Amino acid sequence: MTAQSRDSIDNIWVDRTPYVGKWPDRPDYQLADEPERWVQSACVLCSNGCGLDIGVKEGKIVAVRGRTDDRVNRGRLGPKGMHGWIANHSDNRLTQPLIRRDSGQLEPASWDEAMELIVRRSKEIYEQYTANAIGFYTSGQLFLEEYYTLAVIGKAGLGTPHMDGNTRLCTATAAAALKESFGSDGQPGSDTDLDMTEGILHVGHNISNTQTVLWMRILDRLSGPNPPKLVVIDPRRTATAAKADVHLAPRVGTNVPLLNGLLHLIIEAGHIDQDFIDNHTMDFDKLRQTVAKYSPERVEELTDVPVADLRAAATILGEVKSLVSTVLQGVYQSNQATAAAVQVNNINLIRGLSGKPGSGVLQMNGQPTAQNTRECGADGDLPAFRNWENPDHAQQLADLWEHRKRTAPRLETADPCIGDLPLRGKRYFKDALDLGHQSRRVAAGPTSSTRDARSQRPLRGGSRWFSYRDDPSGRCRAAGSDLGRENRLLHERRPDSAYFA
Ligand code: SF4
């Protein structure tokens, strides 16, 4: 028995269900066989995280169906959600542990043997070098509960702050920009804001391809009563851009001047919420002075975006009474990534369109689970968006995890790894500059302080991160996710230092 609700490959976004207010339900399904039972789950093949049930027969997936009670998708599935599960049946999948033995070859092993090896080696490394010698670099494909468990193993069990996931390559920019603007890595917005918003801004985000179900939601708003205005910033004429009221196609690498130009026009036209700015933001005058240098004519020169198009976009962004702004890899993987992402946040902030129905910023992820990494503390952060700089937050975790103060490292002031870090952080930061990395952001990981990060702000401009930490013997150890050339160079520059590779 086979059946499907629609051909999601020939008709990716399917027919419209126009709406405003509540997105109508529309269930999708794909069956290769009649399931024995259904198991509630979610698709994690893009950041939308559509709710679905998995149909199981004889221990294998034989079907999927979208969950209409899930507010993310209201039953809809895109082509990946409907078909991606078929790959689970591939013979090439790794289903048992492999251990590289004396022969140098990876050989099958039992789970008990693999776990024993991991525990034994971790203990040896811990005893020899401390927990700071142990790092976790993990997938973006785990679920909330698994990520939290991982955070507890790493931070509470072993006591290492060196944890990261695919986030580092995917959405580190989003995390940095959210913290810089809002003080937390949590998204200040919701998909449901799209149900009522008057304006949508997509920056470097071809949502029609990357999140097909979320794009259905927007298409349904566009075809319903009171459609939102749509502004798209993308060098390419994508299917998303084709639907825009205004499509700005900047020269590659010029997101920041373009966004500066938009901010300048919005401020110049007086389309700002001064009360909101006064009560909820800092340094607005600095922003105003910075973007004042980006006249439409100068922006056209820098970006190739015509003055008239820039003005048209600024008028929409300045006049809509609610605005959802979204960002993805066209920002994260581009020049001056964090600065560009912050400038998108700033559009919503100066308009006072944050924390209100129909308004917010979504710094998108590659998978919903990539955000899980971040909110559960399986990356460089602490669980539930707790702040390393806040002793109360660290104490909460120390209490929750009941033992080992070093799980809340900033409480351990006797630890030379912590006590003098800000000073040393600056010193090594200078070394990094001397090594010719001025164009890259040297950012604060868990082992660095946000105070250092602030001192580095003027040099923001890239997506490669690394941070430094001293070991108890006083030698420099470079740690973080970019443990390649930079750290080796630093090590060569400082022969008394060691580095993890
Ligand atoms: S939109 Fe994303 S989460 Fe939803 S079905 Fe498609 S790939 Fe899966």
Instruction: Please answer whether residues 19 and 224 qualify as being in contact, where contact means their C-beta atoms are separated by less than 8 angstroms.
Output: yes
CA of 143 to the centre of ligand 1 (A): 15
Structure tokens at 91: 């013979």
Grade residue 161 by pLDDT with cuts at 50, 70 and 90.
confident
Look at residues 330, 363, 356, 354 and name the one whose alpha carbon lies nearest to residue 179. Answer: 363
Return the pLDDT at 400. 86
Average of per-residue pLDDT across 430-437 = 31
The tokens 């008709």 sit on which residue? 11
Question: Which stretches does DSSP call E strand in 80-215?
Answer: 98-100, 106-108, 136-138, 163-165, 199-203
Any ligand 1 atom below 6 A from CB of 165: no
Tell me which amino acid residue 86 is.
Answer: I
Any ligand 1 atom below 6 A from CB of 362: no
User: Is the pTM for the entire model greater than 0.85?
Assistant: no
Grade residue 403 by pLDDT with cuts at 50, 70 and 90.
low
Instruction: Please answer whether residues 163 and 454 qualify as being in contact, where contact means their C-beta atoms are separated by less than 8 angstroms.
Output: no
Q: Which ligand 1 atom minimizes the distance to the CA of 72?
A: 4
For the ranges 7-21, 102-116, 314-328, 440-454, the lowest mean pLDDT is seen at 440-454
Question: Which stretches does DSSP call E strand in 329-372?
Answer: 360-363
For the ranges 112-126, 345-359, 465-479, 487-501, the lowest mean pLDDT is seen at 465-479
Residues 6 or more apart from 131 whose CB is under 8 A from it?
158, 159, 160, 406
Domains of the chain, start order: 3-89 (2.20.25.90), 127-171+367-412 (no CATH), 174-364 (3.40.228.10), 413-499 (no CATH)
Q: Which ligand 1 atom minimizes the distance to the CA of 66?
A: 5
CA of 213 to the centre of ligand 1 (A): 6
Grade residue 404 by pLDDT with cuts at 50, 70 and 90.
low
Give how far Cα 453 sits from Cα of 339, 427, 432, 457, Å.
13, 13, 14, 6
Grade residue 157 by pLDDT with cuts at 50, 70 and 90.
confident
- The residue whose CB lies within 8 Å of the most ligand 1 atoms, and thus the one to mutate among 29, 77, 371, is 77
Grade residue 142 by pLDDT with cuts at 50, 70 and 90.
confident
Instruction: Please answer whether residues 78 and 64 qualify as being in contact, where contact means their C-beta atoms are separated by less than 8 angstroms.
Output: no
CA of 27 to the centre of ligand 1 (A): 13
Residue 485, pLDDT > 60, answer: no
For the ranges 214-228, 251-265, 377-391, 416-430, the lowest mean pLDDT is seen at 416-430
The tokens 């949508």 sit on which residue? 200
CA distance 48 to 213: 7
Structure tokens at 138: 């993990």
Any ligand 1 atom below 6 A from CB of 50: yes
